[in-house]
Structure 1
Amino acid sequence: MEELKPWWTSKAIWTSLIGSAWGVAGTLGLLPEGLNQTDVLTVVLAITGIGGVVFRKTAKVRIG
């Protein structure tokens, strides 16, 4: 039988959730004072997108 891990232990899932949270915060105007929304969201989404792919590719156990 194949080993499965709980979803909350997945770095790929957490990376996606963090990117989504920043996206929602930017949409609602909740970013910290003095930060340019477009620049912050571009950087955060790029990092989390790349991180999600890398973390998923290097995973040794499937999410169950």
Structure 2
Amino acid sequence: MEDLKPWWTSKAIWTGVIGSIWGVAGAIGILPEGLSQTDVLTVVLALTGIGGVLFRKTATTRIG
């Protein structure tokens, strides 16, 4: 894992960004209509957390 890649090409970074965006959307109350804030945030944050770990585990290059 000696090769470096730009941060924006990291799947682990993007899962964190997506989770953060949904977290902010829930906090300021702009989730899609008809969806429970608690349910959406629980599912999205769980999936992005799992995705981040899996993507980091399968990474072949470092973020540089």
* RMSD of aligned alpha carbons: 0.4
Q: What is the CA–CA distance in structure 2 between the aligned matches of 1:57 and 1:5, rounded to whole Å?
A: 16
Q: What is the CA–CA distance in structure 1 between the aligned matches of 2:3 and 2:55, rounded to whole Å?
A: 18
Task: Tell me the amino acid that sits aligned with residue 62 of structure 1.
Answer: R
Q: What is the CA–CA distance in structure 2 between the aligned matches of 1:7 and 1:47, rounded to whole Å?
A: 21
Name 1:9's counterpart in structure 2.
Answer: 9
TM-score, L = length of structure 1: 0.97
Matched pairs, number: 63
Task: Tell me the amino acid that sits aligned with residue 19 of structure 1.
Answer: G
TM-score, L = length of structure 2: 0.97
* 4+ aligned runs moved over 4 Å, structure 1: none
The unaligned stretches of length 5 or more in structure 2 are none
